Structure 1
Amino acid sequence: MAVYLVVIGWMYVVLMMSVAEATNTTGTVLGAIVTFFLYGVLPVALVVYLMRTPQRRKALKAREAAEQREATTAASSDPDAGGHASGAAEASGITPVRKEP
């Protein structure tokens, strides 16, 4: 949460720099826009992306663990997941067809 407070503060500073650039007698609106993006949006986006990397990794590991648990649960609850012929086919006298070695 403190990171977001710093981001908001920095964006305020950059906004004021941009306003000063646009209202200065030698400044331009294009210069203000460039200042806002090069001093504000791009660096802040990079910093926030880098600061959230551990959270993204943790979420990815949690999602993979949940998928692994789900796959394990689904495989153990399906009685015919082994890929073998069912007992009903053999009980009725039908033999499974095998390839010759």
Structure 2
Amino acid sequence: MYLVLIAWLYVALMMAVAEATNTTGSLLGALITFVLYGLLPMSVVLYLMGSPARRRALKAKEAAERAEVLAAAAAKQASDPAEATPRPTEAAPSNPPDASRQATGMTEAATVASVREEKR
């Protein structure tokens, strides 16, 4: 990945040098060429290519924090055996309402009567 980045920046640098040394070119044009053809696109590519590594680092950090919290809870539980006995909690409903956002499966009562056309 870095080889492509370095190669593209080299090409953009050579374009900027050609712009600067041209008889109708300028240093401002060379700078704009290097930034717009080299630095800007490669910074976007580098950011996009680095997103999986950032995601892995974030998950590792969250896992470490979770493990730290669990270790602290285990240490507290080991130091205070009275807290080790489970407390009675309110029983959760076996099927919470609208938890799965699915239809209940019950049929509805017919509220509209069917209408027939009259024959003449």
TM-score (norm 1): 0.75
CA separation in 2, counterparts of 1:19 and 1:70? 54
Partner deviation per Cα, 1:4-63 (whole Å, 9 max, x = no partner): 000000000000000000000000000000001000001000000000101110110011
CA RMSD of aligned residues (A): 1.0
- State the shift of 1:75 in Å: 1.5
**Structure 2 residue corresponding to 1:31, chosen from 29, 33, 37:** 29
Larger Rg: 2
Which residue in the other structure is 2:15 paired with?
A: 17
Moved over 4 A (4+): none
Which residue in the other structure is 1:50 paired with?
A: 48
1:62 aligns to what SS in structure 2? helix
Which residue in the other structure is 2:74 paired with?
A: 76
Which residue in the other structure is 1:4 paired with?
A: 2
Structure 2 gaps, min length 5: 84-120
Give the percent of matched residue pairs that are identical in Structure 1 and Structure 2: 61
Please tell me the residue identity of whatever aligns with 1:24: N
Which residue in the other structure is 2:59 paired with?
A: 61
Q: Which is helix-richer, 1 or 2? A: 1
- State the shift of 1:76 in Å: 1.3
TM-score (norm 2): 0.63
Q: How many residues align?
A: 79
Which residue in the other structure is 2:90 paired with?
A: none
Please tell me the residue identity of whatever aligns with 2:62: E
Please tell me the residue identity of whatever aligns with 2:9: M
Structure 1 gaps, min length 5: 83-101
